[in-house]
Structure 1
Amino acid sequence: GGVDGGAGAGEGKGEKEKEKEEEAKRLLSEADRKVRGASSFLGALFGGSSRLEDACECYTRAANLFKMAKNWSEAGSAFCRASRLHEQLQSKPDAASRLVDAANAFKKCDPQEAVSCLLRAIDIYTDMGRFTVAAKQHVAIAEIYEGDLVDVHKAMAHYEQAADYFKGEESTSSANKCLLKVATFAAQLEQFPRAIDIYEQVGSVAMDSPLLKYSAKDHFFRAALCHFCIDQINARLAVQRYEGMFPAFSDSRECKLLKKLLEAHEEQNVDAFTDAVKEFDSISRLDQWLTTILLRLKRSLQAEEPDLR
């Protein structure tokens, strides 16, 4: 009987979800009826818009029931229908909000469709002059491209657009967060000059702010490593420049590591390079990005190592 018990428990949960779906479908057909009624000649004469408002509400309630039943694609499309009606009713903020709701449902089943909904929402928000909200939707799109759709170039483009909008609205810290994402990807794509520009720009802003001062050394550290990937002389000059701009950088563990790495590279000493990285990592863990860049530098050093055979 054990097997039956298992099936029964599963069905119990399923039953509840089925009920929600049935109720949602009933609301959808009610909404469709209202829309048809509103567009008939008589309906239009007698309160067509209030029928459309009722229909909007039905679509939204249906969408929320589909969400409870975890039927994400039906939830998404019901939110889209509500959004279209809100647009007909000239209610832009509601139209955009429903598109964002739709996108959140589609994220679970159809990321590409989620992106389409967010792009439509962005059009409405920018049209209304709500650039901060538009910027947040660009970030949401960038995250979908970064995670589900794995398209680094598109993720970068949307983070950049978000940064532009945030800057225009004087949200510097939000803009910088987005720019740092762009720099991370730029370095991964070996667009080092572009990454350097961003790290130096964000670092210069950070070093003048009492709150952000501590993060400046990290930005300069990353900028110097990107210089190092281009060439060693560049990196040495960059480190000197950062020390001049930001004296606290000289005492940082990051700066000391850079100097050890440059020395190891000059002496073509792979072991010294590895030891310096290990020592640093034992105190502050290296993240994925730093690990990748340091491995790249170590490989270039191994390639140059004199052949002792």
Structure 2
Amino acid sequence: MASWFSKSPEKLVQSANKLKQQQQWLQAGDEFCEAAVLYKSKDEVEVANCLRDAANCYIKVDERYAIMAMEAAAIIESEQGKFQYSAELHKNIAELALSLDRKKPRIDNWLSIGGALDMKRQIRFRQFCQSSRSMSATRLAVQHLEKAADYFNSEGSPANEADCSAQMAELLADSGDLVEAAEIYDKLAELAWKHEFLALGAKTKAFRACLCRLAAGLELRMDEMEKRCPSLTGSDECTLVKSLDEACDSATVDAAIRQFGRLNQADEWTKRRLDAVRGKRAGPRLA
């Protein structure tokens, strides 16, 4: 039997498709990746297509292989100026990374399940990109959401850009990076105010920026915030954050939250930030 490097990429793709029909997902993914290697010096479009196909196979077996294939495809798509395609791949990578985080695998050991094929895969993927194997799943998701947002921005797609940035901010806040999350929410509030079809979300983004700043023990600067986001002014959310900013103990915080809760239902993300604000009242405020 001829070794894979003596085959043509076309025959490898045919073989991969047959393996797909037999639901031999790992082997099919390998064949698609091997075809991508052989296409590399001939046809970059086919390289990206093969890597996408490989990812779709690997995802049936282990998302870590799919992530590596998608990372490689995203780089090639961006090099070809196909930023919309690259953005979608980065967004998909983030979703897979979060799926891995929920499963709690050994994310630091991407190549843990393939036996003798591990080294071959490692060498193969390194021909396309250096995968960030030492990164946590959450940080990996944030990294790729940021890339997706940048590419959506370059393609003039503010709704998709905002969606990715909002996911980034949520993850950063939950992982303790409150200042960075607040900065992203600030930018999202401004972006929403500039685009009529996003305007309904401006107040929510500004509110979340305020909660992140309060949870981090930072000064609010409400006058500046209300200038950037007029829809926040006079709202229940504005009243709440002003009350929280003036609160000096947890009892005052609880009273403000109860008042807000009479007419508003806080979501789980907001509740987590409010709990953090309650904890901060006992400590000094940062500058």
The alpha carbon displacement at 1:193 in A equals 2.3
Residue 197, structure 1, aligned to residue 150, structure 2: no
Residue 55, structure 1, aligned to residue 41, structure 2: no
Equivalent residue for 2:36? 83
Structure 2 unmatched ranges of 5 or more: 102-135
The alpha carbon displacement at 1:293 in A equals 0.9
The alpha carbon displacement at 1:276 in A equals 3.1
In 2, Cα distance between equivalents of 1:148 and 1:251? 42
Residue 249, structure 1, aligned to residue 232, structure 2: yes
Q: Quick check: which has more Rg, 1 or 2?
A: 1
The count of residues paired between Structure 1 and Structure 2 equals 249
Equivalent residue for 2:213? 227
Runs of 4+ in structure 1 deviating by more than 6 angstroms, as ranges, are none
Equivalent residue for 1:72? 25
Residue 96, structure 1, aligned to residue 48, structure 2: yes
Paired AA for residue 67 in structure 2? V
In 2, Cα distance between equivalents of 1:246 and 1:115? 38
Paired AA for residue 26 in structure 2? S
TM-score by length of 1: 0.70
Encode CA deviations 1:42-82: one digit per residue, 9 max, x unaligned.
xxxxxxxxxx365145224214303xx3x332232233234
Equivalent residues of 2:250, 2:279 under 8 A apart = no
Q: Which has the higher helix share?
A: 1
Paired AA for residue 201 in structure 2? S
In 2, Cα distance between equivalents of 1:249 and 1:193? 20
Gap change, CA 1:35 and 1:193, over 3 Å in 2: closer
The alpha carbon displacement at 1:267 in A equals 8.0
Gap change, CA 1:96 and 1:201, over 3 Å in 2: same
Paired AA for residue 99 in structure 1? L
In 2, Cα distance between equivalents of 1:78 and 1:34? 8
Equivalent residue for 1:127? 79
Structure 1 unmatched ranges of 5 or more: 1-28, 39-51, 305-309
The alpha carbon displacement at 1:84 in A equals 3.3
Report 1 or 2 for greater relative contact order, CA contacts < 8 Å, sequence distance ≥ 6: 2
Root-mean-square deviation (CA, aligned residues, Å) is 2.8
Percentage of identical aligned residues: 27
Equivalent residues of 2:244, 2:253 under 8 A apart = no
In 1, Cα distance between equivalents of 2:227 and 2:74? 43
In 1, Cα distance between equivalents of 2:192 and 2:80? 32
In 2, Cα distance between equivalents of 1:214 and 1:178? 17
Gap change, CA 1:78 and 1:241, over 3 Å in 2: same
SS of the aligned residue for 1:148 comes to helix
